Structure 1
Amino acid sequence: MYKFLLSSRWLGWFALVCALAAVCAYLGTWQLERRDAIREDIGWVEANYSAEPVPFEEAAGYFQEFDPSAEWLPVELTGSYDTANQRIVRNRPLNGRPGYEVLVPLKLQDGTAVVINRGWLPIGDNEAGWPDEVPEAPAGEVTVTARLKPAEPALLRGAPEGQLASIDLTEYERQTGYPLQTAAYGLMDTEDPEPQTRPQAAPKPSVDEGPHLSYAMQWYAFGLLFFVGLGYAARQEAWNRIESGEDEDWDDEEDWDDDGEPVHSAARVPRRTRPVRKRRNPTGEEEEDAILDAQGF
């Protein structure tokens, strides 16, 4: 009944369904991988964000070679800001609002220089491409508590003088003209002494996994539905062939064309259409002759 499935047309449909199901499986797996990456980031937030600050001496290695497991770890640093080399980072939205972030090198007591991200500023109204006002960093010695963040890659686009396209610490080091720690920077939490005004502090990162798991299940379901649809279409095709008499038994083994249709010669007549000799009811004389023959007359 399902011999037509071996035709080129139906084999082509099967190959197409397999290809579409493979794409759905790939997209589902990709969503699960994204979920795993987000869950890992959430794990670092939950483990490090509210931890007690560690001295710079214990975390110094992270600024030279960043370890993802240390992201968001609070670090306590003491030094003085190099406000002459302050930079504004462009295109830094916050809660849907465009703005900037303020970077300042902090020169520590041992001579090391670490970049501190002091916070966010909205776009200005007075001059295009600049915030209206940048709060000054505290002068003199300051103790900063900042959370570890990895340096960002360089971008192809440029930036005006005094600005950076991203937190590319290698480019920042080139502009300052002295060594900076280029593997990580500090996202400021507190400063002591505390200034009267400061850029807006970065909010705590979200710990929401997002819809990636449900998206993955949807893609897997779509892949399965392709096969369900193909099976339903095959069943309908089989029933249509039975109702139209195209799927009757044949005298000999059948040949099939590329479209799944039976090919037969005049000698191969379906049993359904083979002429049948009707039996005639015997006459009265024939019945009497049969009785006499049975009695031996």
Structure 2
Amino acid sequence: MKRYSFLLTPTWLGWLAVCMVFCFACYLLGQWQLDRRESALEEINRIVANYDQDPVPYAEAQELFAEGSPEDEWTVVQMHGEYLWEDSLLARNRGHGGQVGYEQLVPFRESGTGDVVVISRGWLPTSSTDGSVPADNPVPPSGEVQAVVRLKPAEPEIDRGAPAGQLASINMGEYENQVGYSLVDGAYGLMAQEHPAPQEAPRQLARPALDEGPHLSYSMQWVAFGLLSFVGWWYAARLHRRNLDLEELDAAEGSYDDPLGATDPRVERQERTRLAKQLRRRESGKYSDEDAEDAWVEEHLVSSR
């Protein structure tokens, strides 16, 4: 280890500290990716558990809508009542199939409880001539309607304005301010089916994907990057030690009558490194008869080329 005593100098210890900080940062980034994977798996589990289940009556899901808990997302609920079309609004900047458009939001008065629940009936593309309005805004069925919806927690309020008749997010507080009466404010319903079926309806939003994403592989990559920093530090130390060996050999050439053939122009860099090691063994008293015989043989082999 004496040969690598330079690793205890401030410069090399400083680079080791940099490697440790970098490795710790990579560990934190890896944990961040694992947390994102955990969130994705929770969402997948909710979809699998709730999305395709038989609908439950609204009376049984009334508290779920009031609470709006993420664990109840995608619960299928059957409702009976009527749309309040005159109070419909549009949620703007909603993506669907790689395009940006609107979601049509219509309050729905549930006949059994009298609750008014906001239902998103689907997605509407923007007009080709005026991007600030949808291309069409189909009217929902009138009178008594049976609707099957999937529960979605209400969205938080965002600091962004919207034109008249539109919302920046599906936030029930903002909706109440525009219509002037109370709504079930924990969640809203995402349309699955309605009866009677209308002649024209918004496009249904796509089924959520069951994809956890590349978070696990990314976390492993970050850990690997952190460990590679120590490998790079040690490799740099090996190169530095090799350069020191060559410098020591060059310095010793003036003290010996070219005993190791170091001045031979045919001796390559690798050969000079080997000769430097022999020189160190000779100076330290560890140069044995076998080493001398090997050096004699190698010297004559080089001379005979």
TM superposition score category, shorter chain reference: 0.7 to 0.9
**How many angstroms apart in 2 are the aligned matches of 1:192 and 1:95?**
26
Q: Which letter does structure 1 place at the counterpart of 2:100?
A: P
Bigger proportion of residues as helix: 2
Counterpart in the other structure of 2:119: 116
Q: 1:2 to 1:77 in 2, by over 3 A?
A: same
Cα shift readout 1:36-72 (whole Å, capped 9, x = no counterpart): 1000000000111000000111111111112222111
> Does residue 18 of structure 2 align to residue 16 of structure 1?
yes
**How many angstroms apart in 2 are the aligned matches of 1:90 and 1:201?**
16
Cα shift readout 1:167-195 (whole Å, capped 9, x = no counterpart): 01111012111110111000000001110
**How many angstroms apart in 1 are the aligned matches of 2:241 and 2:129?**
75
Q: Which letter does structure 1 place at the counterpart of 2:230?
A: F
- Tell me by how many angstroms 1:242 deviates: 3.0
> Does residue 47 of structure 2 align to residue 45 of structure 1?
yes
Counterpart in the other structure of 1:149: 152
Counterpart in the other structure of 1:225: 228
> Does residue 161 of structure 2 align to residue 158 of structure 1?
yes
TM normalised by structure 2 equals 0.79
**How many angstroms apart in 2 are the aligned matches of 1:142 and 1:189?**
13
Q: Which letter does structure 1 place at the counterpart of 2:173?
A: T
Cα shift readout 1:83-125 (whole Å, capped 9, x = no counterpart): 1110011100111111110000001112110000000011112
TM normalised by structure 1 equals 0.81
Counterpart in the other structure of 1:57: 59
Partner of 1:18: helix, strand, or coil? Answer: helix
Q: In angstroms, what is the RMSD of aligned CA positions?
A: 1.7
Counterpart in the other structure of 1:240: 243
Q: Which letter does structure 2 place at the counterpart of 1:156?
A: D
**How many angstroms apart in 2 are the aligned matches of 1:141 and 1:55?**
16
Partner of 1:215: helix, strand, or coil? Answer: helix
**How many angstroms apart in 2 are the aligned matches of 1:94 and 1:35?**
23
**How many angstroms apart in 1 are the aligned matches of 2:101 and 2:242?**
65
> Does residue 26 of structure 2 align to residue 27 of structure 1?
no
Partner of 1:33: helix, strand, or coil? Answer: helix
Partner of 2:148: helix, strand, or coil? Answer: strand
Counterpart in the other structure of 1:194: 197
Q: Which letter does structure 1 place at the counterpart of 2:134?
A: P
- Tell me by how many angstroms 1:81 deviates: 0.5
* Structure 2 unaligned regions, length at least 5: 252-281, 285-305
**How many angstroms apart in 1 are the aligned matches of 2:108 and 2:203?**
19
Partner of 1:90: helix, strand, or coil? Answer: strand
| Aligned 1:251-290 pairs, distance under 5 A | 272=283
- Tell me by how many angstroms 1:156 deviates: 1.0
Cα shift readout 1:244-295 (whole Å, capped 9, x = no counterpart): 229x9xxxxxxxxxxxxxxxxxxxxxx959xxxxxxxxxxxxxxxxxxxxxx
- Tell me by how many angstroms 1:126 deviates: 4.2
- Return the index of the structure with the highest Cα Rg: 1
> Does residue 107 of structure 2 align to residue 105 of structure 1?
yes
- Tell me by how many angstroms 1:75 deviates: 0.3
Cα shift readout 1:212-252 (whole Å, capped 9, x = no counterpart): 11111111111110011101111222232233229x9xxxx
* Structure 1 unaligned regions, length at least 5: 249-270, 274-297
**How many angstroms apart in 2 are the aligned matches of 1:128 and 1:225?**
51
Counterpart in the other structure of 1:77: 79
Cα shift readout 1:124-158 (whole Å, capped 9, x = no counterpart): 12433001210101101101000010111111110
Q: Which letter does structure 2 place at the counterpart of 1:103?
A: L
Partner of 1:245: helix, strand, or coil? Answer: helix
Stretch deviating more after TM superposition (19-28 or 78-87): 19-28
- Tell me by how many angstroms 1:23 deviates: 1.4
Q: Which letter does structure 1 place at the counterpart of 2:48?
A: E
